[in-house]
Amino acid sequence: MTDYRDETLDVSSFAIDDCEQLLKSFNIHFPSTDAYMDLVDGILHIYLCQLDISKFEEFLALLEIDKALKDAVFNVINNIGSYGLRGSKRHFSGYNAERKVSNRKVKEQNRGKHYYANDNSFSKDNNSLPFEFENKIVCADSLEVLKKLPDNCVDIIFTSPPYNFGLEYDTHNDTASWNSYYDMLFNIFNECIRVLKYGGRFIVNVQPLYSDYIPSHHIISNFFIENKMIWKGEILWEKNNYNCKMCSYGSWKSPASPYLKYTWEFIEIYCKGNLKKAGKTVDADITAEEFKSWVVAKWSIAPERHMKEFGHPAMFPEGLVERVLKLFSFKNDLVLDPFNGAGTTTVVAKKTGRRYLGIDISKEYCDTAEKRIKEFDNCQQMTLGF
């Protein structure tokens, strides 16, 4: 007897004719021993044994139905993380028998998945962000602003804090003692965790201070783990730039003390309470190609080239923010950047149909952030002919 994996998709918001055409064509096109579909009370059931994803994509491309429905169905199947491969087909059931580790689930249970975060006391009751903070750039100390927000009201946080490298910021002093630097940072991060929704994501770009042997990415990760956040993973942002082209090799040609050089930064991803984030399938705006490419956690993206123009010394490139937001959040989600600088997170949030709150202590940077959003709004209006 064929063993199927049952995936479901709520299709009640799509035209019934489109759903029926999809189901009928799918069941004719693919042998029922591989996969078949059923529609019950607005819920599409996709029974999967094995499927060639490229053939499925070709099949969808030829169907004349709502593209959003095609995308939603494709995402359901393509996003299934656990499958085996035989030839060009993905196997959705029975593949465990071939795995080298038997009884995987029991072993996982015995070991304890993300054991360090399981006794958290996070509330599951999420709230809305007060209206006066929605789609706003606020010029103030983040700690003061965040204290005014209710618990559990933000979907995703993406930020790069100042790293205490001695950069020339407008107002922030970037050379504090390490203890006072981490006190400042973790006071703000504690508030960020509080305002993050249950199931929300806290994503931090960190660059260690290699020259002083300060592993900031580990220190920040320890903080998250001590605060019961679940580590979802780590992205290596390959910038392909030697930020110290001329700097020393340490002990030249001797193992006494060679100096390591890096061309990348880290992006640490933590979740509050649950690895799975709530959101509607229709609000997922990542394409199949983007998804396949971006889940490979080494991202080659050049640093921002226009920092001088924007007058900020340490900006995100827009492409980096776009990947983070599309891979880890849904459209309409509320995005917070508590160290918003020249506003790259907030302008990309706006461009990708998310809501935002950006906070920075510098008036000059906040003005730049506002200007970028206005420029985008003006472009939009011109395109729409207003």
Ligand X SMILES: C[S@@+](CC[C@H](N)C(=O)[O-])C[C@H]1O[C@@H](n2cnc3c(N)ncnc32)[C@H](O)[C@@H]1O
Letters for 229-258 (x = contact with ligand X by CB under 6 A, - = none) are ------------------------------
Residue closer to ligand X by CB (options 75, 340) is 340
Letters for 104-143 (x = contact with ligand X by CB under 6 A, - = none) are -------------------------------------xx-
CA 44: distance to chain centroid?
A: 27
Q: Give 236's strand partners.
A: 266, 298
- Output the CA–CA distances (angstroms, integers) from residue 180 to 163, 175, 189, in the order listed: 12, 10, 14
172 touches ligand X by CB under 6 A: yes
Report d(CA 61, CA 78) in Å as an integer: 15
Alpha-helical regions (H) of 210-251: 216-226
Nearest CA-CA partner of 198 in 125, 250, 260: 125
Residue closer to ligand X by CB (options 51, 325) is 325
Please enumerate in sequence order all residues whose Cβ is within 8 A of that of 373, keeping only pairs 6 or more positions apart, or say none: 137, 343, 346, 347, 350
315 touches ligand X by CB under 6 A: yes
- Tell me the window of 35-43, 99-107, 291-299, 360-368 that interacts with ligand X (CB under 6 A): 360-368
Two tokens, residue 73: 């169905």
316 touches ligand X by CB under 6 A: yes
Residue closer to ligand X by CB (options 102, 179) is 179
10 Å CB burial of residue 171 (0-12, 13-18, 19+) is exposed
- For residue 315, the minimal CB distance to ligand X (Å) is 4
- Tell me the window of 158-166, 234-242, 278-286, 374-382 that interacts with ligand X (CB under 6 A): 158-166
346 touches ligand X by CB under 6 A: no
362 touches ligand X by CB under 6 A: yes
**Sites for ligand X among residues 48-87 (CB under 6 A):** none
Q: Give 136's strand partners.
A: 357
In the three-class reduction of DSSP (H, G, I as helix; E, B as strand; rest coil), residue 256 is classed as coil
Number of residues lying near ligand X (CB under 6 A): 20
- For residue 359, the minimal CB distance to ligand X (Å) is 5
> Residues in the chain, how many?
386
Residue closer to ligand X by CB (options 55, 136) is 136
341 touches ligand X by CB under 6 A: yes
DSSP letters for 151-188: SS-EEEEEE----SS----SS------HHHHHHHHHHH
- Tell me the window of 15-23, 108-116, 225-233, 337-345 that interacts with ligand X (CB under 6 A): 337-345
- For residue 381, the minimal CB distance to ligand X (Å) is 25
> Interface residues with ligand X (CB under 6 A)?
141-142, 160-162, 169, 172, 312, 314-316, 339, 341-342, 344, 359-362, 365
